[in-house]
Amino acid sequence: MYQSCPNAAKGLKWMFIAEILAIVSIPLVFILIGGLTALAATVLNLVGLYTATHDDAGYFPALYAEIASLVISVLSNAFHNGILTAVLSVVAEVLGLFIVYQVITTTLNLLGSRNGTLEQRGNTVIKVYFGCTVISVVCAVLAIIPILNIIALAVGAVSEIVMVVGYVFYLMFLYGASKALV
């Protein structure tokens, strides 16, 4: 018999809302409300991860990585050095991959094998995020080298478009999993 996980469901719902707020904050970034919306998204994401930890400790590493990513983001904005900012950006991207991986694998463990669609969607998200993160890291290194930086820019742009598709699947995963775990 399946045991429900209401805290994980509630946490994933908060994370879903946080991701939607993060999307909304992008065009609003030039006015004060954009910064506040982004801050609200960050807080909701942390609250969602913390809430989910009450049902499974597997969410804790994602919570800690999210906090580390937040610190790195603040540091990255404080330093405007090209190489240091690039290194911090790479670290933030790897942490982002880890967070998504940890959230999806922990959620799939809670679901067991009872929802094949979510399992397939989660595995697709992990593959897309992994591939795009590897490409992004390689492009960040190549961006330092003259002439190769143009190729890195083009490949990076394509990777970002693919990442948007992965992001949509991640949103669908969060929403579906929050409903399935009730």
Which domain range does residue 153 map to?
6-180
Can you spell out the DSSP letters for 23-61?
Answer: HHHTTTTTSHHHHHHHHHHHHHHHHHHHHHTTT-GGGHH
Q: How far apart are CA 47 and CA 44, in angstroms?
A: 5
Give the amino acid at 63: L
In single-letter form, the type of residue at position 143 comes to: A
pLDDT of residue 79: 75
Total number of domains constituting the chain: 1
Rounded CA separation 167/14 (Å):
16
- Can you read off the two tokens belonging to residue 24? 């909304």
Res. 2: pLDDT tops 70? no
Residue 43, domain member (yes or no): yes
Q: Poorest-confidence range of 31-45, 93-107, 166-180? A: 31-45
**Residue 101 belongs to a domain:** yes
The Cα 26–Cα 35 span in angstroms is: 9
How far apart CA 71 and CA 57 sit, in angstroms, is 22
The answer to the question of residue 1 being in a domain is no
Residue 1 pLDDT > 50: no
pLDDT in tens, 85-140: 778 888 999 999 999 999 999 999 998 877 788 899 999 999 999 999 999 888 88
Q: Give the chain's count of helices (H) and strands (E).
A: 6, 0
Burial class from Cβ neighbours inside 10 Å (0-12, 13-18, 19+) for residue 77 reads exposed
pTM for this entry: 0.89
Give a yes or no: residue 14 inside a domain: yes
